[in-house]
Amino acid sequence: MAITFYSYPKCGTCRKAKKWLEQEEVDFNEIHIVEEPPSKETLKELYEKSGLPLKKFFNTSGMKYRELGLKDKVNTASDDELLELLASDGMLIKRPLTTNGQKVTLGFKEETFEDAWK
């Protein structure tokens, strides 16, 4: 079963992750996270399956995150508000966001990808 790989082509971390997937011959469908951000419903599902806190889904080093002053808001907003925010702009989502419908990984660490996608 192919995994879904939400990435941003100009992102160095995404390029490293994509290269790893290609080298390991992992079947994946790449989706441009800014042109086609995951819907609020998809994000909710991924969040629930990930077992991670919702604030981990935010690209905290991104300009957009800082521009919107989200540092404090992620601690006080409801999950619904945060999911709405994430779905509104792919640049707010930590990338790459990788899933097979059961497992979810955020960002790229080779060990994590080894465990999840090999």
Q: Are 6 and 98 in contact (CB under 8 A)?
A: yes
Integer Cα distance of 21 and 74 in angstroms = 31
Q: Containing domain of residue 76, as a range? A: 3-117
Integer Cα distance of 94 and 64 in angstroms = 12
Q: State residue 10's pLDDT score.
A: 96
Residue of 6, 26, 11, 12 lying closest to 115 (CA atoms): 26
Is residue 1 scored above 80 in pLDDT?
no
pLDDT digits (tens, 9 = 90+) for 106-118: 999 999 999 999 9
pLDDT digits (tens, 9 = 90+) for 22-49: 999 999 999 999 999 999 999 999 999 9
The CATH number covering residue 51 comes to 3.40.30.10
Number of domains in the chain: 1
Q: Are 58 and 88 in contact (CB under 8 A)?
A: no
Quote the strand ranges of the chain, DSSP E.
3-7, 28-32, 97-99, 104-106
